[in-house]
Amino acid sequence: MVNQELYDAIIVGGGPAGLTAALYLARARYRVLVVEKDRFGGQITITHEVVNYPGVEKTSGEALTETMRRQAQNFGAEFLLSEVTDLDLSGDIKKVTTSRGVLRSFAVMIATGANPRKVGFVGENEFRGRGVAYCATCDGEFFTGKELLVIGGGYASAEEAMFLTRYATKVTILVRKDAFSCAKSIADEVMAHPKIKVLFNHELKSVEGTDMGITKATIFNNKTNESFEYSAEGGDTFGVFVFAGYVPNTSLVKDKVALNEGGYIITNQDMLTNVPGVFAGGDVCIKSLRQVVTATADGALAACAMEKVAAQMHEKTGLVPEVPNAVRKAPEESRASLAPEAQAGSFVSEDMIPQLNAVFERMGSKLILEVTKGDSDKGLELENAMQELSALTDKLEVKEGHESECLPVVRLLKENGEYTGLAFHGVPGGHEFTSFVLSLYNAAGPGQAVEDADKVRIDAINKPIKMQILISLSCTMCPDLVVAAQRIASLNANVSAEVYDLNLYQDLRNKYKVMSVPCLVTNEEDVSFGRKKMSELLDHLAKFA
């Protein structure tokens, strides 16, 4: 019996492991869905240059994983941008609860990756966002013309230190051990760079400074047991970038699958966990090397094993998930079916159309995109982008905004012209494209599902709260905060959430002394840094409500 509401496999996480598994499963004509809460591609998307992936001489992490995603999609893999909030891994049919409903499948793969690990030096939390950073691609530009300390001795610290030399005047790498743990070729390149100095057997113990940034650091030599103070030439402020490994994102499966003492998922050679039908892959697993190539290998192994699970379940249950028609078409045929205007556009690409259409179809009402171009070239780019979106649906209309503003902004208005409290200052591309599309869905209704407890807290806000979210389009950590803030604002008229591309808003960067993103400014006075999920953001807003 064909079943439209069932999947052969659901993959939680859209990094290289998940995308590879989706490609293999879809090509084998199984119905597979990849659920990702942020942006498809995973941690590698923040890597500027990838030169060690076999068969690809040189590319960026974002370009490499986007190719993987397109390959999987062309074979019929389905994709959903949503947060997984719970898993029921018992029985033959697993249940995956997301912010957009409950999904069911025969097999589940956990590919949720890992987040940067904090070191724990004195001042790390205090100066986060004002000197301490964890993403070179997101925050490197903020340190142009300054000295930098880089913490870590692995592949990430070596690669990111090289990347940071394009901004910094000097980079000093502190390696806790007596050698790098990455490939010798990479280590040799780092050691030979004229802007880089490497201190082996050294650890960062503390940082000090002012509201303008870090001015002093205490560094410990663990071989001689001696400490010394580091300061930048001329007494200038300097930055600290931490690349000291990762913490696995396994909170979703804690007490549901077996983990080791470090919190990583334990699997066998087929990437199967201790729970039948539940697999894992990528950085969330135990492994000696965390690279794109090992993640893709995990995905291929898991997919082949999941195929067998799905085939067995077809026979056992008599249920066969209905494979989308797109699988039965050649990729060229599928592309040719798009409308001509959908294939053109510089803002909306062809492979975005199916996901956008799914959002537009669910929007409960029309929206007005009020565009103020300002007097910069970005204004015309913003207007063209919004015109491209509105051409895809009758749910959106573009209207000219306030010409008194000098920088571009798009505000979301209800059909009657009432302001929704949601706006984007700049052009919502890069990592913010998805969060902008979600803002349309949230503003027009019904919007993303919200936990009952969070909804009660949102409804209880009875004082005006103005949120300004300062972001960079290259930041992978920004969308979490943006989506949470805009969802709250869409549900409570007392709250507004406006997003600012800091590359355009130098005045805000200087006013709030921002050296890392995302940065949340509440009521134009309270400043905090780092990604926040819905519950964490509500905790933060409680003192203003």
Task: State how far the Cα of 479 lies from the Cα of 503, in Å rounded to an integer.
Answer: 16
Residue whose structure tokens are 């949102």:
458
Q: Is 304 a residue of the active site?
A: no
Q: Among residues 139, 283, 480, 501, which one is catalytic?
A: 139
CA 242 to CA 182: how far, in whole Å?
Answer: 16
Of 68, 531, 488, 449, which Cα lies nearest the Cα of 293? Answer: 68
Q: Which of 8, 88, 92, 138 is catalytic?
A: 138
Instruction: Tell me, yes or no, if 139 is annotated catalytic.
Output: yes
Q: Is 529 buried (19+), middle (13-18) or exposed (0-12) by CB count in 10 A? A: buried
Q: How large is the angle between the packed helices 184-192 and 155-164, nearest 10 degrees?
A: 30
User: At 57, which amino acid appears?
Assistant: E
The residue type at 442: N
State yes or no: is 92 an active-site residue: no
The residue type found at 345 is G
> Are residues 37 and 84 in contact, defined by beta-carbon separation less than 8 angstroms?
yes
Q: Enter the tokens of residue 57.
A: 């001489």
The partner residues of 174 in beta bridges, in order of sequence, read 151, 199
Cα(250)–Cα(77) distance, integer angstroms: 24
Joined together, the tokens standing for residue 83 give 């947060």
Beta bridge partners of 544: none
For 147, what's the count of Cα atoms within 13 Å in the CB-facing half-sphere?
Answer: 18
Cβ-contact 111, 284 below 8 angstroms? yes
* Alpha helices in 427-544, H assignment, sequence order: 433-444, 452-459, 478-491, 506-511, 534-541
Instruction: Please tell me which residue in 38, 86, 92, 135 is annotated as part of the active site.
Output: 135
Instruction: Tell me the two tokens of residue 166.
Output: 């394009």
Maximum separation of any 2 CA atoms in the chain, in Å: 75
Using alpha carbons, select from 318, 350, 348, 317 the residue that is nearest to residue 331.
350
Token duo for residue 369: 């995109």
β-bridge partners, 216 = 208
| Catalytic (active-site) positions | 135, 138-139
